Chains A and B, each alone.
Chain A
Amino acid sequence: MMKANPRKLTDEQIVKLILDEKESGYFEIIYDRYAKKIFNKCLSFTNDKTHAQDLTQDIILKIYLNLKRFSFKSKFSTWAYSIMYNHCVTAYREIDRHRSDMEKYYRDDTYSYHEDTEDMLFQLQVDRLKELLKQIHTEDQMILLLKYQDDFSIKDIQRITALSESAIKMRLKRAREKIMYLYRKKYGEKTI
């Protein structure tokens, strides 16, 4: 019987093939599906392309090394993204310490906004959004990107980050507010 085209298989079926047949060649399909997405996430944390590439390489190899631990109980995408999330949060812990200063100003500043900012966020120019994202914590950036770039549901983000549903909703809201706060501070009130 002829084998189905592996490119048409789901992520989970490919992982099963890799594990059952001990054939690492199938991992190329996983690479093609995820490398660019992971790289672009990493790029949003740093301006340095080489650093983003190194980070991407580490994450992809970590995914491969941990394949045996994938339990097939969740979607492969959420499992792989949880490895990326944990790796990036750990890698940027030091930088996040410096970002805490900004967090302090945000909390103390009576000018901060407490309204729903989703629509406003979507009106931002790409370059400005990129720049503002780099100023907030890695965890907050990641949650925003998972929600608005990858369209993950709150339940999926919960599996990726191991945070509670209410914590994710609160973080999303606060992350949006922080972006708009930083935006207004830098560009003023009216120029979106």
Chain B
Amino acid sequence: MTLMENMNKNPFKEMGNEDLPENMKRKVLTSVHLITLLGDFTELFTIKLAATISKMIDPLGSKKDNGDTTIHPVSDN
């Protein structure tokens, strides 16, 4: 080995050259795509669920909508 080759030698660089199997890329990118879809679905589901729950805990909500907030007495008949 020449002096120049010896100076440029770096075994750390030489040891990092193993290739990944091609199916690994497909696997990872499919997972990424699924995570994105599920993420959007979860977000949409959460928004719908929050809206439903907020309606359930706000019983006057529908009456407020038409502006009628008066309490009518229950008839004895």
Contacts and interface: CB of A to CB of B under 8 A. Distances in A.
Interface of A: 22, 24, 27-28, 31, 35-37, 39-41, 43-44, 49, 53, 56-57, 60-61, 64-65, 121-126, 129-130, 144-145, 148-149
Contact of B28 (A49, A60, A124, A125): A60
Interface residues of B, number: 25
Given A28-B29, A61-B28, A40 B18 contact: yes
B33 A24 contact: yes
Contacts of B33: 24
A124 B12 CA distance: 10
Contacts of B21: 53
Given A35-B25, A122-B10, A148-B10, A129 B32 contact: no
A40 B12 contact: no
B63 interface: no
Interface string B38-76: 001000000000000000000000000000000000000
Nearest to A32: B25
Contacts of B15: 40, 44, 126, 129-130, 149
**Residues of B contacting A: mostly:** helix
B18 A57 contact: no
Contacts of A44: 15-16
Given A27-B29, A122-B9, A64 B35 contact: yes
Contact of A35 (B6, B10, B11, B24): B24
B11 A122 contact: yes
B36 A56 contact: no
